[in-house]
């Protein structure tokens, strides 16, 4: 059982709030309610005893909706990964939901220096440019194949 100081709890709750706001998750419905419940249970030291029925009863008000909780938790885990790959890439606190179980994993990380942030930004730009170049090359090959196919069927005589 992880023990969080009152100061840590405040930082983690603030991070959870940022995530909900940036991901448009309402704290009292669906995935937002599940995130809120899981995090509060973890901060209270009860994160290790969570199961789908418990989460369904507390977050959704119906213990019979365990299968829905499993689906929403999986979706939420993916959204968290995308959040930290995008707008949350520089956040100092990471929250992950494991593939199995319901106990959230909370990690602290040092903020990036200005040089690291610049390197991260430039690397991301280069990766996007590379992906665009690959897509353009793929389109060129596809265009050539379509022209060849149209010519071989006699339909492409007027197509350039």
79 and 13 part of one domain: yes
Q: What is the pLDDT of residue 95?
A: 94
Tokens at residue 27, please? 């704290």
Question: Per the structure block, which two tokens stand in for 71?
Answer: 């689906």
Q: CA end-to-end span of the chain, whole Å?
A: 68
Position 156 in a domain: yes
70 domain-assigned: yes
Question: Hey, what are 82's tokens?
Answer: 């995308």
Express each pLDDT in 105-118 by its tens digit: 999 876 667 777 77
- Lowest average pLDDT, out of 12-16, 72-76, 91-95, 131-135, goes to 131-135
Count of structural domains within the chain: 2
Q: Is residue 125 in some structural domain?
A: yes
Q: How far apart are CA 32 and CA 67, in angstroms?
A: 17
Strands, DSSP E only, in 12-148? Answer: 93-96, 105-108
* 1 falls within a domain: no
User: What is the span of the domain harbouring residue 82?
Assistant: 6-108
* pLDDT recorded at residue 133: 86
Please give the pLDDT value at position 15.
93
The string of pLDDT tens digits covering residues 137-155 is 888 888 888 888 777 777 6
Q: Domain check: are 100 and 123 in the same one?
A: no
Q: What is the pLDDT of residues 59-70, one digit of tens each?
A: 999 989 889 999
For residues 95 and 108, what is the distance between their CA atoms, to the nearest angstrom? Answer: 9
What is the predicted pLDDT for the residue at 94?
92
* Pair (129, 86) in one structural domain: no
Place of tokens 């939901």: 97
Q: Is residue 17 domain-shared with residue 90, that is, in the same domain?
A: yes
Same domain, 28 and 97: yes
Same-domain pairing of 12 and 87 = yes
């Amino acid at each position: 059982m992880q023990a969080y100081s009152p100061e840590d709890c405040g930082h983690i709750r603030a991070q959870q709030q940022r995530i909900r706001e940036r991901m448009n998750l309402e704290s009292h419905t669906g995935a937002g309610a599940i995130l809120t419940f899981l995090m509060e249970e973890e901060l209270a030291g009860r994160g290790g005893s969570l199961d789908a029925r418990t989460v369904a009863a507390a977050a959704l008000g119906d213990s019979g909706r365990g299968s829905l909780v499993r689906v929403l938790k999986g979706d939420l885990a993916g959204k968290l990964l995308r959040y930290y790959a995008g707008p949350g890439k520089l956040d100092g606190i990471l929250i992950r939901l494991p593939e199995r179980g319901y106990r959230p994993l909370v990690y602290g990380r040092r903020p990036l220096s200005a040089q690291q942030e610049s390197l991260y930004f430039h690397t991301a730009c280069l990766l996007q440019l590379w992906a665009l170049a690959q897509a353009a090359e793929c389109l060129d090959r596809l265009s050539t194949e379509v022209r060849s196919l149209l010519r071989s069927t006699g339909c492409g005589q007027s197509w350039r």
